[in-house]
Amino acid sequence: MLEKNSQLLQVIHLRKNFGAIQAVKDVSFDIAPAEIVAIVGDNGAGKSTVAKVISGAYRRDGGEMLWNGGPYEPHEPDDARDIGIETMYQDLALVNDLDAAGNIFLNREPTRRLFRFLPLLDHKQMRERSAELLRRVKIELPSYDRPVRQLSGGQRQATAIGRILLSERARLIIMDEPTAALGVQEQRKVLELIRNLSDHGMAVMIISHNLEHVFTVSQRVIVLRGGEVAGIVSTAEVQKQDVVSLIMGGGA
Amino acid sequence: MTGLNTDLSPMRGVGSGAMRAIGGINPLVIALVILYVAIIFWSDRFLAISNQMNITRQVAVYLIIAMGQTFVISSRGIDLSVGSVLGFVGCVVARMIDAGTPVPIGIATGIVLGTAFGTINGLVITKLKVNPLIATLGMLVALRGLTHILMGSTAVTRLPSSLVFLGQGFVGPVPMPAIISLCVVVICWWLYYHTRFGRYTVSIGSNEDACGLAGIHVDRQKILIYAFQGACVGLAATLLVGRLNAASPDLGLNYELHIIAAVVLGGTALYGGLGTIFGTVLGIFTIGVIENGMVLVGANFHVQRVLIGTLLVAAVAYQEYRRRQLERRVV
C-alpha cells in the first residue's frame, strides 16, 4: 500500500476521538518531500483535527505516523518543530506592535556588545537577515522596522513565513486556510509563495475551502468526509467538479 | 513574483524609537512649552536656574518609580501598590538607619525589600492568576496597614547627613536626586529599547499568546517586570526619606495616582504593547511643572488638580485619535 522510505510523512489508519465523537475514524495518506498537498472537506470532516495531530497539538488515539520512514510520536508542538514540521496558524501568532524583523527573530534575537561590554539588541542584523531570508522566497517587504500592525494581510503572512524560514529545519509546513483573509491580489502572491517554498525543498500541506486555490497550487488533493478519506486525487487528472462530488459524497 | 510590495509611503518619516509610540512628536512637548510660556508670563522667578533645579529635585522620586511603571503598563499590567511599598520600605529603612545601621546597607536593604514586594506581586499575578489591578490593590491596602502597625504613631526624624545628602545635596547646581534619577532613566532607556527584557515586556503586552508560542517564558518575564518595579520603588524610598529627613507611616500616600497618570500622559498605552521612556519623563515633568508653577503663580492648590486631570483625559483622547489615524493607513 504505502511506499517506503521515499515519503516524508506517512499517516497510517489515523484515529482521533473527542469523548464519544470520532472526529477522525480512519485516515491514511502520505506526503513526499517538496510536495504540495491540499486537504479539503466539508466542516467537521476532520481536516483541522488531522493537521493538529500532525503538528503535535493533539495526541492520536490510534494508527501510526512515520517521518522519513521512522516512527513519529509528537507529544507537543515543540516535538514537531524539532524535527522540521512547522505550523502556520490562521491568526499567524504575530506580535502586532513589533516590526517584521522583531517578529521573525522573536525569542531568537541576536545581540552585539557596545564597547565590548554593554549588550544591545542588534536591530540592524535582524533587519538585514530578515530581508535576506524573505528574498530567498522572493518576498520583499516595504519595511522591516514598522509595526506589523501596519502591514497588509499578505505582508503579515510573509512575516510568519520568515519565522519559519529562520529555523532552517522546516521540511513540512502546515498552513491553515492561508488565503482566507486576503484580497485577490494578495491571495495570488501567497499561492506564489507556497510554490516558492516547494521549490526550496519544503513540502506544504494546505487546509483550504477554496478549490480554485487548491487546484492552482497543489499536486494532490486529499478529500476527507466524516473522518475518513473519501478519495486522494491528482489535480492534473481530475476536474474541480469531481472533488466537489467527493466532498459531498454524491457519486464518482 | 514581484514581492508583497505595497506602497506605504505616506507612513514614511513617522519618527522612530521613543517618538514612534504615538507617531510623531509627543504632544506633551507642546503642552510643556505652553505651560512654560504661561507660567513665565505670571512669575519671573519660575525660569531661574535654582527653581528649575528645584523642579528636577521635586520630580526625582516620582520619575524613578514611573520608570518601573512604564515597564509594567507596557506589559498590559498595572501596579497600584507603589505608594504603599514606598511607605513601608521608607519607614523600615529609616528605622534601621536610625538604630545605627550603616547608610549603604540601609539603602541596599531598601532596594532588596522593594524587589521582594514586587516579586510577591508578580507571583500572585502569574501563579495565582489574580488580576494585576486586584493583586496590587490588595498589596496597597495591606502594606499601608502593616506600615502603621510597624510605626505606631511615631515618626523617624533627623537621619544621618550622608542619607540626607542623597535627598537634599547638590553637585554644583544640580541636586543629587536629579542625578540619581537621570541614571535610572538612562538604564531604563537601555533596558526598554536595547535588551530582550524590554522587547519581551512590550511583546507580552501586545500578544501574550504569540510570545508563549515563540517560547518566551511569559510568567517569568512578568515576575521580573514587577520585581524591577519594586526595585525602583525601593531606591526611590531611600531618596525620599533622605529628602524629607524623616519617615512617617503616611509616606508615599496616593503616589500611585501621580505615577500612573504621568506614565499614561506620556503615551504608554494601558492596553499594552506600546510604551515610551521619553514620554514618561515628559509626563512626570509636566506634572512637576504644573505643581511648581501653580505655587509660584499663587494659584489655589486645587487648581493644579483640575489642570492635571483635564490634561490626562485630553492626552489619552489625542493618543487614541492618533492611533486610529495610523490604523486606517493599513492597506
Q: Is residue B114 in some structural domain?
A: yes
Domain boundaries of chain A, sorted by first residue: 31-61+71-84+171-252, 97-168
* Other CB atoms within 10 A of residue B90 CB: 31
What are the pLDDT digits (tens) for A22-37?
899 999 999 999 999 9
Helix, coil or strand: residue A206: strand
Instruction: Give the per-residue pLDDT at B186.
Output: 97
Write the CATH number for B232: 1.10.3470.10
Report the candidate in A240, A234, A224, A187 with the shortest Cα–Cα distance to residue A51.
A224
pLDDT grade, residue B25 (50/70/90)?
Answer: confident
Q: To the nearest whole angstrom, how far is the Cα of B218 from the nearest Cα of chain A?
A: 11
Of residues B292 and A183, which shows the higher confidence score? B292
What are the pLDDT digits (tens) for B137-153?
999 999 999 999 999 88
Instruction: Give the per-residue pLDDT at B328.
Output: 63
Q: Does domain A31-61+71-84+171-252 have CATH number 3.40.50.300?
A: yes
Question: Does residue B106 surpass a pLDDT of 60?
Answer: yes
Q: Do B214 and A93 touch (CB under 8 A)?
A: yes
ipTM of the complex: 0.82
Number of folded domains in chain B? Answer: 1
* Cβ–Cβ < 8 Å for A60, A14: yes
Report which residue type is found at B265: L
A231-240, B79-88, B122-131: which has the minimum mean pLDDT? A231-240
For residue A77, the surrounding DSSP H or E stretch is helix A77-83
What are the pLDDT digits (tens) for A139-158?
888 888 889 988 888 888 88
Chain A CB contacts of B194 under 8 Å are 119-121
Q: Is residue B146 in some structural domain?
A: yes
Which residue carries 510623531 as its cell? Answer: B24
Report which residue type is found at A227: G
Instruction: Give the per-residue pLDDT at A221.
Output: 95
Report the chain A residue with the minimal C-alpha distance to residue B75.
A97
Instruction: Give the per-residue pLDDT at B24.
Output: 62
pTM of the model: 0.84
Instruction: Give the per-residue pLDDT at B11.
Output: 35
Report the candidate in B222, B235, B195, B219 with the shortest Cα–Cα distance to residue B67.
B235
Question: Does residue B12 surpass a pLDDT of 70?
Answer: no
Q: Is residue B142 in some structural domain?
A: yes
Residue B148 near chain A (CB below 8 Å): no
Mean pLDDT of chain B: 88
* A residues 108-167 lying closer than 8 A (beta carbon) to B: 109, 111, 118-121, 138-143, 145-146, 149-152, 154-155, 157-158, 163
Q: To the nearest whole angstrom, how far is the Cα of B295 from the nearest Cα of chain A?
A: 41
* Other CB atoms within 10 A of residue B309 CB: 11
Instruction: Give the per-residue pLDDT at A28.
Output: 95
Report which residue type is found at A139: I
Instruction: Give the per-residue pLDDT at B84.
Output: 97
Q: Measure the CA–CA gap between A252 and A221, rounded to whole angstroms.
A: 15
The contacts of residue B264 (CB under 8 Å, 6+ apart) are B73, B270, B283, B312, B315, B316
Report the candidate in B244, B325, B218, B232 with the shortest Cα–Cα distance to residue B280.
B232
* Cβ–Cβ < 8 Å for A89, A181: no
Q: Is residue B220 in some structural domain?
A: yes
Quote the domain boundaries for residue B134. 59-252
Which residue carries 526625582 as its cell? Answer: B60
Mean pLDDT calculated for residue range B281-303: 89
Q: Do B211 and A95 touch (CB under 8 A)?
A: yes
Which grid cell is B105? 546597607
Q: Do A98 and B195 touch (CB under 8 A)?
A: no
* Averaged pLDDT, groups of 10, chain A, 252 residues long: 71 92 92 94 89 90 93 87 86 89 92 88 93 84 86 86 86 89 83 89 92 92 93 90 86 46
Q: Is residue B124 in some structural domain?
A: yes
Instruction: For chain A, give the number of residues.
Output: 252
Instruction: Give the per-residue pLDDT at A252.
Output: 43
> What is residue B160's DSSP assignment?
-
Percentage, residues of chain B above pLDDT 70: 91
The contacts of residue A164 (CB under 8 Å, 6+ apart) are A86, A88, A170, A173
- Among the partner residues A94, A98, A158, nearest to B4 by beta-carbon distance: A158
